[in-house]
Structure 1
Amino acid sequence: MWVSSGVVLGALIAVGTNVWADKETESVQQASNSIPLQELRAFVEVYERISTDYVDQVDDKQLLEGAISGMLSSLDPHSAYLPPVDAKEMEEHTRGEFGGLGMEVGMEDGFVKVISPIDDTPAQEAGMQAGDLIIKLGSEPVKGKTLSEAVKIMRGKPGTKLELTVVRKGEDAPLKVELTRAVIKVKSIKQRMLKDEIGYVRISQFQVRTGQDLLKAVDKLEQENGKPLAGLVLDLRNNPGGVLTAAVEVSDAFLNEGLIVYTEGRIRNSQMRFSAEDGDIMNGKPVVVLVNEGSASASEIVSGALQDQKRAIIAGRDTFGKGSVQTLMQLNNGAAMKMTTARYFTPSGRSIQAEGIVPDVEIDRLKVEKVEAKIERVKEKDLSGHLEGDEEKKVANGEKPSENEDGITEETAEILEKDFELSEAMRLVKTMILAQQLK
């Protein structure tokens, strides 16, 4: 009996060992098949040739970082290697305070492409526009540089100047634009009352606190109005995006339920779904979202969610079309890699990537100019040492300026007069308010 048992046990061990060995061999073969050994040998060979034969001595660290950077930048315009200094700057950017020119940029055909200028920054004040291609930074051509290298040149000591050579659609020749570097402190939310109890909220960038700041902004408007708003214009023009959770919070602020956005990628962590919780800050009142070609990423998530859920009218022009998720991964050397790990999808399953959000109401890009008299008239307030008027005293004392016959301040009237898109958005809200009242 023992002999028989020993034979059977030996046979089982032998079979089990053979099966395990076969599986191990198969696993090794699969691994060796998935690794491009020939290309890796070529990489090592190129590295050795450069180290020994290049005309100048090359720092090995610089060479390897260049290889890593090239590997990531070849994937798409948003994946990049960030050396330790750049990784720290990226963290500052997310917090909303950093130094530079004040514009969100990417790479296209080897040139720096402006995604959008940021509000109240040198870039916006100098007239930089979404879609501008920067071909020279000072005297240095952009071609051949990585995005990190280009950004490093654009950043610098506040007060110093940098001339950009820009190719702009519709212009026959490249433009020269001089900008003065500054410490960029981005305030992501601004608000003001428009006409007829309609509020206006501008989001220039999605930061960690943007969702909370939106709630405060609407609350301030309602306090100023003395009662709940009749409608709202949410301005996302030239908003380059930012933090995903902030976009979800802003969308959720206007929704009571339903899907906001979901992402799909190859790894489990890149597959996420975000849904709204009960609590619409506008209580179903009309909302119009203003977008344009500079509205990207998180801006497209918000406009896509509110459009699919039929909670707001989207007005303006087709958005940028950045529907990919970048994950910042810290590396052991203090550097980081920013890599695209997923795609965004709106609640109805639309991919934003390279498509963008098509507005419900298109508003052409127009410039409204007031016809001025040939001779500039001098008024009393222009005279040196004039007696202050009541309005000037109010402003000097920090009081609220008086409203004109339309029930708005002169500053708001001037903004509406110059900003055709905002005026059209306000008219849309008024139409929606009327439609609700007639139901």
Structure 2
Amino acid sequence: MNAKRLTVTLAALGATAAVAYAQMGGYTQANLSSTAEGRTFLQLLSDLNRLYLYPVDQKKVLRGAITGALGSLDDEFTYYSEPEDNAIDAANLQGEFGGIGVQLVAANPDGSGGKVDNVYKGYSAAENGVQIGDQFLKIGETDVTTAKLNEIVRLVRGEKGSSVAVTFAREGKPYTVKLERRQVTIVSVESTVLPGNVGYIALNTFYNEKVSEQFSAAVADMKKKNVKGLILDLRDNGGGLLNAGVEVVDQFLQSGPIVSLRDRSKATEVFGTARRQTTDYTGKLMVLVNKNSASASEVVSGALQDTKKATIVGEQTFGKGVAQIPVTLPDGGKAAIVNSEWLTPNGRQIHKKGITPDVVVKDTRFTTPVNFTGSGVKPGEKITLTVEGKPVTVTADKDGKFTYTGEIKRPTRSAQQGEAVVDLQTDAILKKAYDLLK
């Protein structure tokens, strides 16, 4: 891979965006007033401030207008991130932050709240007895039971060496602990060796500037152990940095293009080229994908499939094959603007098509939880049903309706960062790849 060329390409893209903005002059009151739609927008803002019954949150209104403007493109990959979310995003990208050493997931069906999905060794949460399943109630004096997950993350993180008081609930009983924030490094690569000396490396995301370094170290470790084959797991990896994807592919290819970019003028340019390195892995390779493998994951699987370097096993991938330019805005927010599409080495489009595996296997790791709905009972009445041999009690709402959704089985994860936990017996995709290698 020509790393220098990649850097130049990205800089050029950023410069192009800046020039385009300068040429347009941006939207000003003068050129907005030149169209009926522009005059309508300006008048609406004025009338809203003048006539609305309640105080107008100017910041919220204008950010809503920004979100609406990008939303009108009907492109889910062109969007606006508010400054608060952008700050978290930037820390995730850097791969380091001051934290307590836990992984979070939403606690409520609507995606709000937070609960502990994993506790990592060596950090204050583990040392103070925080456990998987504990739910966040308060951070300091702030109630977070229905807060957005990013808001909980923002409150938990902070300067290394500082402390935060967190109130958790465990089996309905609250407890409060004071936790010291320490330097947390996001480890996005997990590995292990399967029976028969088969190597396994899982890449959880490409949205981490440390991914390439972590992946190279994992591959080197597998080569040192002289594994008889390697399985690369890209399932549920939604992508991230294109550079990181290119660098992963470069660990397996010795020459040739990895991915190309095509802009709206249909001009196509090779983005990354493989080069022969002493660190390359040249043994047998299987790549695992599922319907949630997207973006850079599809660049990797597509390149390795086109070059016949790997056998792709699993489900049809998501089909996100476009590149975005991140634009930092004056308010500290960020706009991601789709700028080009990706093509595999053989010129295949990925967007809205995805990658079809060489061997199609359904992902059996997670089953759909039991759920039911009903009606026709008195408001507030409790109903107990037997679900999978256990009693479940639900309460009817004001309309006499009741619902139940079982908890989705959480994946088993190691408390040691970088250590993968897998199960050949319940994981059909992994088992198929393993058998093919043997």
Computed over aligned residues only, the root mean square deviation of the Cα atoms, in angstroms, reads 4.2
Inter-CA distance 351–419: structure 2 relative to 1 (3 Å threshold): same
Whole-angstrom distance in 2 between the partners of 1:93 and 1:420? 31
Structure 1 position 89 matched with structure 2 position 88? yes
- State the 1:297 CA deviation: 1.0
- State the 1:69 CA deviation: 2.0
2:42 alignment partner, one of 41, 44, 49: 44
- State the 1:195 CA deviation: 2.8
Question: What does residue 428 of structure 1 align with?
Answer: 436
Amino acid at match of 2:88: E
Inter-CA distance 293–120: structure 2 relative to 1 (3 Å threshold): farther
TM value normalised by structure 1? 0.60
Summarize deviations over 1:56-94 as a string: whole Å, max 9, x none.
121333322221122123332232223332222111121
State how 1:17-416 maps to structure 2 within 5 Å.
37-75=35-73, 76-97=75-96, 102=104, 151-152=150-151, 156-157=155-156, 186-206=186-206, 207-223=208-224, 225=225, 228-266=226-264, 273-279=271-277, 281=279, 284-366=282-364, 415-416=423-424
Using the TM superposition, name which of 184-193 and 335-344 deviates more.
184-193
Is the radius of gyration larger for structure 1 or structure 2? 1
Inter-CA distance 152–77: structure 2 relative to 1 (3 Å threshold): farther
Q: Report the secondary structure of 1:93's partner residue.
A: helix
Amino acid at match of 1:422: L
Q: Is the contact made by 2:326 and 2:335 (CA closer than 8 Å) also made in structure 1?
A: yes
Equivalent pairs, count: 310
Question: What does residue 178 of structure 2 align with?
Answer: none
Q: Is the contact made by 1:256 and 1:280 (CA closer than 8 Å) also made in structure 2?
A: no
Q: Report the secondary structure of 1:254's partner residue.
A: coil
Whole-angstrom distance in 1 between the partners of 2:45 and 2:83? 23
Q: Is the contact made by 1:254 and 1:282 (CA closer than 8 Å) also made in structure 2?
A: yes
Q: Is the contact made by 1:255 and 1:277 (CA closer than 8 Å) also made in structure 2?
A: yes
Whole-angstrom distance in 1 between the partners of 2:57 and 2:311? 56
Inter-CA distance 271–55: structure 2 relative to 1 (3 Å threshold): farther
Whole-angstrom distance in 2 between the partners of 1:101 and 1:412? 15
Inter-CA distance 222–358: structure 2 relative to 1 (3 Å threshold): same
Summarize deviations over 1:286-311 as a string: whole Å, max 9, x none.
10000111211111110011011111
Q: Report the secondary structure of 1:296's partner residue.
A: coil
Q: Is the contact made by 1:255 and 1:280 (CA closer than 8 Å) also made in structure 2?
A: no
- State the 1:281 CA deviation: 4.5
Whole-angstrom distance in 2 between the partners of 1:44 and 1:155? 34
- State the 1:360 CA deviation: 0.5
Whole-angstrom distance in 2 between the partners of 1:192 and 1:304? 24
Amino acid at match of 1:214: F
Whole-angstrom distance in 2 between the partners of 1:62 and 1:72? 16
- State the 1:201 CA deviation: 1.0
Whole-angstrom distance in 2 between the partners of 1:88 and 1:425? 39
Inter-CA distance 243–58: structure 2 relative to 1 (3 Å threshold): same
Amino acid at match of 1:83: E
Whole-angstrom distance in 1 between the partners of 2:349 and 2:105? 25
Amino acid at match of 1:327: I
Structure in which a larger fraction of residues adopt strand: 2
Amino acid at match of 1:210: V
- State the 1:102 CA deviation: 4.8
- State the 1:35 CA deviation: 9.6
Q: Report the secondary structure of 1:249's partner residue.
A: helix
Give % identity: 33
Q: Structure 2 unaligned segments of length 5 or more: list them.
A: 1-23, 25-29, 112-116, 121-131, 134-143, 158-165, 170-180, 368-415
Whole-angstrom distance in 2 between the partners of 1:62 and 1:41? 21
Whole-angstrom distance in 1 between the partners of 2:320 and 2:344? 13
Amino acid at match of 1:420: A
Structure in which a larger fraction of residues adopt helix: 1
TM value normalised by structure 2? 0.60
Amino acid at match of 1:198: V
Q: Is the contact made by 1:263 and 1:270 (CA closer than 8 Å) also made in structure 2?
A: yes
Inter-CA distance 153–344: structure 2 relative to 1 (3 Å threshold): farther
Question: What does residue 166 of structure 1 align with?
Answer: none
Whole-angstrom distance in 2 between the partners of 1:258 and 1:35? 52
Q: Is the contact made by 1:253 and 1:280 (CA closer than 8 Å) also made in structure 2?
A: no
Amino acid at match of 2:323: V
Inter-CA distance 356–413: structure 2 relative to 1 (3 Å threshold): closer
Amino acid at match of 1:94: L
Q: Structure 1 unaligned segments of length 5 or more: list them.
A: 1-26, 105-110, 113-117, 127-136, 141-148, 163-181, 370-397, 399-410, 431-439
Inter-CA distance 358–192: structure 2 relative to 1 (3 Å threshold): same
Question: What does residue 20 of structure 1 align with?
Answer: none
